[in-house]
Amino acid sequence: MYRQDQQKQINKVLEYIEVNLHESLTLEVLAKLSTYSVYHFQRIFKEIVGETPAGYVKRLRLENAAHLLIYEQQIPVTQIALMCGFSSLSYFTYSFNSYFKTSPKKWREGAYLDRFPREYHDSKKSKLLSNIQKENFGTSGYNEFKWLDLTKVKTIDFPMCATVNRQSIGPYTKGIPHAWDEVYHWANSRGLINQNTLLFGVPKNNPYITPPDKNRYDCRIEISESEIWNQDEEVTYHFEGGKHVVYEFDEPVDYSERSKLIECYSELYSYWLPRSGYRYLGNPIELVEIKPVKGSLTFDCKIKAIALAIEPK
């Protein structure tokens, strides 16, 4: 069984990988970052993450490329391959075919619809799209907002801040409240939570692309700059903040209702985003409401809003 300090070191490596997928992420570089020898780093990484470092990096690169191929239609396939850390188009195409059982070109043109609920508004038409529309929606396509109330979509600037974090690994419908329970009680017992504290979740993966057992979700609580130096035993993480498009629900949504959240994300990505003049910048965030249950140590944990980091196209 791995120790807490080992988990912290591997978490540092995971954060580094996510930010630097376009760089050369050799085993030696990652092991040095972890402070372990190459041999021990490989062993600990595999025990904690469930994949080898090389396998994990390659999977993230492919999944990131799959996302970009859909939502960044103006970027050539070759450029996406390089952006995601592949040394050549031929190696990227071979790897993509092996993982997704289709070519990057066919994926972009509509093969992704085998996994996704609807077409991205700016993507190319395909025979597959036509067949799916007929099967799911009759003769007319899905071409209007059915889950989002556009009067509740707004843009907000979030400030930069430091956070503490706990991560849940597995399906987004299970396990996340347990991670919130741990980080909330840790922060609350140290007097770090008040009515203005930002609590947010970060789904690290697209559940239509990443296998459910490999989905990662960060539960993050803002802490003030003055408190960072008092938390020597705790790793703190940087939240960039910036402009986000935010959709707030009339009633907070339970984590078990992930299908509803996915529908709303789909409309933000596939319909609102391409018509808005903005492009997305990275993982979405989910603003969370936590209400302690009176007379117990448990609480209700629900999502009150979803948000995407954006910038002008």
Q: Is the dihedral of CA 259, 196, 244, 67 positive or negative?
A: negative
In a domain, 125, yes or no: no
Are 159 and 291 part of one and the same domain? Answer: yes
In a domain, 74, yes or no: yes
In a domain, 137, yes or no: no
Of 79, 94, 109, which residue is a domain's last? Answer: 109
CATH number of domain containing 18:
1.10.10.60
Are 166 and 289 part of one and the same domain? Answer: yes
Are 176 and 297 part of one and the same domain? Answer: yes
Q: pTM value?
A: 0.83
Are 172 and 95 part of one and the same domain? Answer: no
In a domain, 269, yes or no: yes
Per residue, what are the HEC states of 193-246? Answer: CCCCCCEEEEECCCCCCCCHHHCEEEEEEEECHHHHCCCCCCCCEEECCEEEEE
In a domain, 286, yes or no: yes
Using CA atoms, how far residue 36 sits from 5, 25, 42, 171, in Å, is 12, 16, 9, 30
Question: What is residue 249's DSSP assignment?
Answer: E
Query: What is the pLDDT, as a whole number, of residue 144?
Result: 57
Query: What is the pLDDT, as a whole number, of residue 126?
Result: 40
In a domain, 303, yes or no: yes
Are 181 and 306 part of one and the same domain? Answer: yes
Are 184 and 303 part of one and the same domain? Answer: yes
Are 40 and 168 part of one and the same domain? Answer: no
In a domain, 42, yes or no: yes
Of 109, 140, 161, which residue is a domain's last? Answer: 109
As for how many domains the chain has, the answer is 2
Q: What is the pLDDT along the chain (313 residues), one digit of tens a residue?
A: 567 788 889 988 998 999 999 999 999 999 999 999 999 999 999 999 999 999 999 999 999 999 999 888 889 999 999 999 999 999 999 999 999 999 999 999 989 888 765 565 555 544 344 444 444 434 333 345 677 888 889 999 999 999 999 999 999 988 899 999 999 999 998 889 998 999 999 999 988 899 999 999 999 999 987 777 666 677 888 899 999 999 999 999 999 988 888 888 888 887 888 889 998 888 899 999 998 888 887 889 999 999 999 999 8
Q: Per-residue pLDDT tens for 200-214? A: 999 999 888 999 999
Residues 6+ apart with CB under 8 A from 125: 110
Q: Which domain holds residue 184?
A: 152-312
In a domain, 282, yes or no: yes
CATH number of domain containing 240:
3.20.80.10
Euclidean distance between CA atoms 95 and 126, whole angstroms: 23
Are 54 and 157 part of one and the same domain? Answer: no
Are 86 and 223 part of one and the same domain? Answer: no
Task: Decide if 238 contacts 144 (C-beta within 8 A).
Answer: no
Query: Closest Cα to residue 129, out of 70, 79, 81?
Result: 70
Are 173 and 275 part of one and the same domain? Answer: yes
Are 186 and 304 part of one and the same domain? Answer: yes
Are 169 and 293 part of one and the same domain? Answer: yes
